[in-house]
Structure 1
C-alpha cells in the first residue's frame, strides 16, 4: 500500500496520476481495444479511440493549467508563544485563461500543522489573497519554502501537482513572564557597591536630580511639571530625572552548551527572557549570554536568540563574562566556577542540590521545581 502511494505521489508531482474515474476509463479503453483486435469490429475501435483521446486530453490539460500560476509570500511578523501566526500569500494567474478548481497547500513544518485552501475560480491576470492563521504552542525559528498546487481540471480524470518556491521564516518568541519582583536581579551587585542609591528615591524625587526639561506628554505625572519654565514658555514643561543604577551591569547566562531535560530547558528559556525584560524595565544595563552567540543586547535580538537557542549547541563563543552573572543551568558542577557575586537558577532534584551545599554559592540562587509555577519561584527569596 505504501509503495503504491509512493508511485502515485511520484506520478502526480512529475507527470499526472489517474483519479479513480481516470483509472477505470483507462481499463475500459484497453478492454475495448483488445476486444476490437480480436473481433475486428469497427465500432469497438471507435469507442476505444475516443476514450484514449479523451484520456490524452484529460492528462495534458491539468499540467497546462498549473504552468501559469505564481505565488508571492508576505514576510511573517514574529509572535510570542500562544499567539496566532498570520500567514499571507498572493496567488497570481498570469495567463489569459481562468483557472478553476485549484487546491493549494502550504508546505509547513510538521510542528506547525497543515494548511490548505481551495480556489473555485481565479480570473485571468488576477490575484487571489490567501490569509490563514496558525496557533503557536512552542517557541522556535521555523523555515519552509514550498507551496503546492493540485488540480484535476477540467475533466477530473487525472491529478496533477506542482510546487512553487515561496520561502518563509516564522519566529515564535518564548513567553515573557510579568515579574513584579525578582530578588535575583534586585540584589545583584549589593556586595560590590553598598553605596548604590535606591532607584525608587529618584522616581519619587522632584528636586535636585533634574537632568533636563522637555515638553509635557500625556501620562506624565503632574508632580514633575516645572511650573516656572512652563510659565516662561507658555507650555507645560516636565523635569526629566536622572536614573541611578550604580553602574550595575547584569548578565543573564543560559547554559545552552550542556545537555538538559527538554521540558527543563524550555522553562529555562522562559526564565531567561523574563529576567532580561525585568532587568530592562528596572533600567539596568542588561545583556544575555548563550554558548553559541556570546553577549548580546537589545529586546528584539534577545527574543530572536532565545527563540532559536537549543540545548547542547556548539559553543562558538568563548567569551564568558568575568563579572557576576545570573547563571541558568541544570549542571550543579558548574556552580563552583562562577565569578564571585554571581547568582544561579538551578533545574535539578533535591539530592543534587544537597551535594552542592559545600560550594560558596549554595545560598545565592533559586532552585526550580517542575510542579510549582515558574513565575512565583523566580519572585521568591534567594536560598
Structure 2
C-alpha cells in the first residue's frame, strides 16, 4: 500500500496520476480499442477514440491550471511555547479563467504537524487568503519553503500536484518562568563588591535613592509602590531607583558545548531565560552566553538564541573569565569556574554527594527534574 502511495505521489508531482475514474476510463478505452481491432467494428473505434481524446484533455488541463497560480507568504511573528503560531498565505490567480477545486498543502516540518485547505472557486485576478494556526509544543527555529497545489479540475480524471517556493521561518521561544524572587541572582556579586548595596536592600530603601516616580507596570515589585503618591493620583505609582550596582555585569552561561540529556537541557534553556529576564527586571546589566553565539544581550536576541540553541553545538567563543551563573549537567566543569561564580547543576543526588569536594565550594543549586523548576530557582542557595 505504501509503495502504491509513493508511486502515485511521484506521478502527481512529476507528471499526473490517474484518479479512480481516470483509471477506469483508461481501462475501458483500451478494452474498446482492442475489441475494435479484433472485430474491425467502426463504432468501437469511435468510442475508443473519443475516450482517448477525453483522457488527453483531462491529463493536460490540471497542469496548465496550476501554472497560473502564485503563492506568497507573510512573515511569521515569533511566539512562545504553548501559544499558537499564525501562518498566512495568499494564493493569487493571475489568469483570466476561474480556478476550481484546488487543494493547498503547506509543507511543514514534521514537528509542527500538517496543514491543508481546499478552495472551491478562485475568481480571475483575485487572491485567496489562507490563515491557519499551529499549536507549539517545542521551542526551536523552524524553516520550510514549499507549498503544494493539487487539482484534478476540470474533469476529475487525473491528479496533478506542483510545488511553489514560499520561504518561512518560525521562531518558537522557550517558556519564561515568572520568578518573584531568585537568591541565585540577588546574591550574585556580593563577595566581590562588598561596598555596593545589594539589590534587595537598595529596593527597600526609602530615602536618597528614588530618582523619579512612574506609573505601575505589570511585574513591578509591590515594595516599590509609593503609596502616598498613588493615593494622591488615584493610580499606582512606582519608585524609579538610581542604579547603584557599580556597573556590575551578570553573565548567565549555558553549557551548550557539552552533552546533555534532552529533558535536562530543555529545563536548562527555560532556566537560562527565566534567570535572564528576572535579572533584567531587577535593572541589572545581564548577558547570556552560549557556546555557539558567545555573549548576547537584549530581550529579543536572547529569546532567539535560546530558541535555536542545541546541546553539543560547536564552540564559537570561549567562556569569559568573569563571575557568572553556570548552567550545566557536567559537574566537572564547575571546577574551573571563575571566583565568585554560581552554578545550577542537573545531576542525580548520589553523584553530587560523591563528588562534593572543592569544585562545589561555590554556592549553587542542584535541580531535580521531577520537582517544579520555578520553585527550585526561587529557593535559597546551599
TM > 0.5 between the two? yes
Seen in structure 2, the aligned counterparts of structure 1 residues 356 and 299 have a Cα distance that, compared at 3 Å, is same
Report the CA distance between 1:376 and its aligned residue: 0.6
User: 2:352: which partner in 1?
Assistant: 353
Distance 1:201 1:358 in 2: 32
What is the distance in 2 between the residues matched to 1:66 and 1:148?
10
Per the alignment, residue 33 of structure 2 pairs with: 33
User: How far apart are 1:346 and its partner, in Å?
Assistant: 0.6
Is the contact made by 2:340 and 2:362 (CA closer than 8 Å) also made in structure 1? no
TM-score norm. by structure 2 comes to: 0.92
2:322 alignment partner, SS class: coil
Whether the 8 Å contact between 2:343 and 2:365 is mirrored in structure 1 is: yes
Q: Which residue of 2 aligns with 1:231?
A: none
Who is 2:59 aligned against? 59
The answer to whether structure 1 residue 176 and structure 2 residue 176 are counterparts is yes
* Aligned-partner Cα distance in 1 for 2:243–2:175: 28
Q: How does 1:90-129 map to 2 (within 5 A)?
A: 90-129=90-129
| CA root-mean-square deviation | 2.2
Q: Provide the C-alpha distance between the structure 2 equivalents of 1:275 and 1:207, rounded to a whole number of angstroms.
A: 29
Paired position in structure 2 for 1:15 = 15
Identify the residue that residue 187 of structure 1 maps to in structure 2: 187
Q: How does 1:155-304 map to 2 (within 5 A)?
A: 155-200=155-200, 203=203, 207-209=207-209, 211=211, 221=226, 223=228, 241-304=241-304
Preserved CA contact (<8 Å) 1:363 1:382:
no
Aligned residues: 371
Shift, 1:198, TM fit: 4.1
Contact 1:206 1:223 in 2 (8 A): no
Task: Tell me by how many angstroms 1:218 deviates.
Answer: 7.6
Match in the other structure for 1:4: 4
- Contact map agreement 2:190 2:198 (CA 8 A) in 1: no
Structure 2: unaligned runs, 5 residues or longer = 218-224
Which consecutive residues of structure 1, in runs of 5 or more, have no partner in the other structure?
Answer: 228-236
Q: Please give the alpha-carbon distance, in whole angstroms, between the structure 2 residues aligned to 1:238 and 1:157.
A: 71
User: What is the TM-score normalised by the length of structure 1?
Assistant: 0.92
| SS of 1:288 mapped into structure 2 | strand
Query: 190-199 vs 8-17, which deviates more?
Result: 190-199
Question: How far does residue 119 in structure 1 lie from its aligned partner after superposition?
Answer: 0.3
Q: Is the 8 A contact 2:342 2:362 kept in 1?
A: no
- Compared with structure 1, are the counterparts of its residues 206 and 358 closer, same or farther at alpha carbon in structure 2 (3 Å cutoff)? closer
Measure the CA separation in 2 of the matches of 1:315 and 1:24: 61
Residues 252, 325 of structure 1: 8 Å contact kept: yes
1:247 Cα deviation from its structure 2 partner: 2.8
CA separation in 2, counterparts of 1:218 and 1:266? 33
Alpha-carbon displacement from aligned partner over 1:115-160 (angstroms, at most 9, x marks no partner): 0000000000000000000000000000000100000001110000
Tell whether 2:148 aligns with 1:148: yes
- 1:245/1:283 contact within 8 Å kept: no
The answer as to whether partners of 2:29 and 2:52 remain within 8 angstroms in 1 is yes
2: distance between equivalents of 1:206 and 1:375? Answer: 30
Contact kept, 8 Å, 1:356 with 1:362, in 2: the verdict is no
Partner of 2:116, secondary structure, is strand
| Structure 1 residue ranges, 4+ long, deviating more than 6 angstroms after superposition | none
Report the CA distance between 1:206 and its aligned residue: 6.0
